[in-house]
């Protein structure tokens, strides 16, 4: 589902995008076929790790089960989460993701610095599905 969208362990965890060798545009989710810049003749698309930190651009309460490709077990109670759009200045990208568990919209403000961390999307007896989550760098207010 999200093969190749992120990688690395612990502090080395990063989202992975692709960058066009001709126009330097960065894509996330990764674009591996054609540069999406309409003014670009097309270059080679090379995988690049994205900035670890960004700033909250907007956020909302995720009160509903996320749509495909997210895996959720309809038998389990749904835990609401903060859904955060984070602006990565260097890449000029806005990346959507869940907040870390326990982070609510009351803990968030536009412009707050957050960093990407690995999180568990779903797990069963055999498999843990990993995703990325956003965590404020200043700590979560309680
Ligand atoms: Zn390009």
What pTM, to 2 d.p., does this model score? 0.81
**Res. 20: pLDDT tops 90:** yes
Distance 69 CA to ligand 1 centre (A): 27
Distance 38 CA to ligand 1 centre (A): 8
pLDDT of the residue at 77: 66
Higher pLDDT, 94 or 121: 94
**Res. 4: pLDDT tops 50:** yes
Distance 18 CA to ligand 1 centre (A): 10
pLDDT of the residue at 122: 78
Distance 17 CA to ligand 1 centre (A): 14
Higher pLDDT, 123 or 137: 137
pLDDT digits 0-9 by tens, 41-96: 999 999 999 999 999 999 998 776 666 555 566 666 667 789 999 999 999 999 99
Confidence band for 1, pLDDT divided at 50, 70 and 90: very low
Distance 89 CA to ligand 1 centre (A): 18
Distance 32 CA to ligand 1 centre (A): 11
Ion ligand 1 neighbours, Cβ < 5 Å: 20, 22-23, 35, 37, 40, 43
Long-range contacts of 87-91 (CB under 8 A, 24+ apart): 87/54, 87/55, 87/56, 87/57, 88/50, 88/51, 88/54, 89/51, 89/54, 89/55, 90/51, 91/17, 91/26, 91/28, 91/50, 91/51
Higher pLDDT, 70 or 103: 103
């Amino acid at each position: 589902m999200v093969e190749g969208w992120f990688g690395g362990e612990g502090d080395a965890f990063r989202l992975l995008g692709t960058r066009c060798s001709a126009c330097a545009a960065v894509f996330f989710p990764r674009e591996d076929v054609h540069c999406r810049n309409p003014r670009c003749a097309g270059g080679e698309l090379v995988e690049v790790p994205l900035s670890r930190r960004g700033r909250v651009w907007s956020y909302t309460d995720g009160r509903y089960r996320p749509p495909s490709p997210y895996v959720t077990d309809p038998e389990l109670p749904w835990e609401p989460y903060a859904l955060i759009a984070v602006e990565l200045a260097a890449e000029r990208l806005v990346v959507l993701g869940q907040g870390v568990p326990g982070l609510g919209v009351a803990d968030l403000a536009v412009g707050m610095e957050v960093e990407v961390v690995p999180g568990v999307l779903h797990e069963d007896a055999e498999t843990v599905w990993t995703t990325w989550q956003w965590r404020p760098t200043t700590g979560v207010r309680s």
